[in-house]
Structure 1
Amino acid sequence: MSNNDLASRVEAIETRFALDRLIAEYAQAFDTRDESLLRGIWHEDARLDLGAAFGSYEGVEAIVESAHTNWKAMPHMHHWMANALIDIDGDTATARAAVDCLCTHIEMGPIQISGLYHDTFERRQGRWAFIERRFDLHFLTPLPNWKPIAGGEAAS
């Protein structure tokens, strides 16, 4: 094995970890209302398309504004991102990642949202970030009998 082969393999592994981390940071940013983390995962000209149910946003400022709107409507969110399939091609990459999200909606109460994210990433000046994240909603369903009885979000 040549040093170039080893270097290419190490770079592919490092890139995969960086992209997996971006997917996880998206979920953490929304769940913890971390605006700084949310801002840091996008290139400035990025697009977030959450479909007819949640809207489409161009640029980091619009994406952050949409987060504030969603945080007001759904003060508690818990995303589970899973089964990320990532394809890397030089300084670009695509991914599909499944999501289940339990939320407390101010009008509907507890709800579950499920779907699939279609992601496009670019590495610019050595930094990987989203340039597009598109969401296909599988379902949004109220959970009328769901009530936490223990833990940080249980009713006191």
Structure 2
Amino acid sequence: MSNPTTFADQLADRLAIRELVDSYAHLADRRDAQGQAALFTDDARVAVYDGEPDLTEPAQVLTGRNDLATAFGSLRNYDKTTHFNGQSSVTLDGDRATGETYCLAHHLWTEEGQRTLMVMSIRYHDTFVRQGGRWLFAERRLITDWVDRRPSAN
């Protein structure tokens, strides 16, 4: 395991991890499920929670890039999505890191002739690993804090 020894190394790692997190959101909004899955290790795990992970069991667990690509493809059910990543924190430990990122995920679709907007307040608890000089997701816990669903005029 290589430990970053300089501030510049740590800054480069933090930037690379933030770019990874932002790439995930960008690819989701572009409906590139294979591209999203490629941001994860081969054996990555994603767990989806409707509440705090310490208090609830995951509603869904996905393992491996194939399962992830299939699940990410479900975003095609929406007319549009927009994911806004907000504050984030990262703790580096050599070739591993952990972090938390806040996200507001907007989903727009038409249902029975009515445009509908759903906004989800999400927190991602992530474990990252550096493989082949590239940061990837090893584990991602998606925690839904709240959901607002309403008719949309546009």
Q: Specify the TM-score bucket, using the shorter chain as the normaliser.
A: 0.7 to 0.9
User: How far 1:95 sits from its partner (Å)?
Assistant: 0.7
Stretches of structure 2 lacking an aligned partner (at least 5 in a row) = 51-57
Q: What is the correspondence of 1:77-88 to structure 2 with a 5 Å cutoff?
A: 77-88=81-92
| Structure possessing the higher radius of gyration over alpha carbons | 1
Structure 1 CA distance for aligned equivalents of residues 36 and 73 of structure 2: 11
Stretches of structure 1 lacking an aligned partner (at least 5 in a row) = 1-5, 149-156
RMSD of equivalent CA atoms: 2.1
User: Are the equivalent residues in 2 in contact too, given 1:46–1:130 (CA < 8 A)?
Assistant: yes
Residues paired across the two proteins, number: 141
Higher-RCO chain (CA-CA 8 Å, sequence separation at least 6): 2
Hey, what does 1:60 align to over in structure 2? 65
Hey, what does 2:132 align to over in structure 1? 125
Q: Select 2:29's aligned residue among 14, 31, 36.
A: 31
TM-score (norm 1): 0.81
User: Are the equivalent residues in 1 in contact too, given 2:31–2:75 (CA < 8 A)?
Assistant: no
Hey, what does 1:141 align to over in structure 2? 148
Q: Select 2:44's aligned residue among 43, 46, 51.
A: 46
User: Are the equivalent residues in 2 in contact too, given 1:86–1:93 (CA < 8 A)?
Assistant: yes
Relative to total residues, which structure has the larger strand share, 1 or 2? 2
Percent identity over paired residues: 24
Structure 1 CA distance for aligned equivalents of residues 60 and 109 of structure 2: 17
SS of 1:50 mapped into structure 2: strand
Relative to total residues, which structure has the larger helix share, 1 or 2? 1
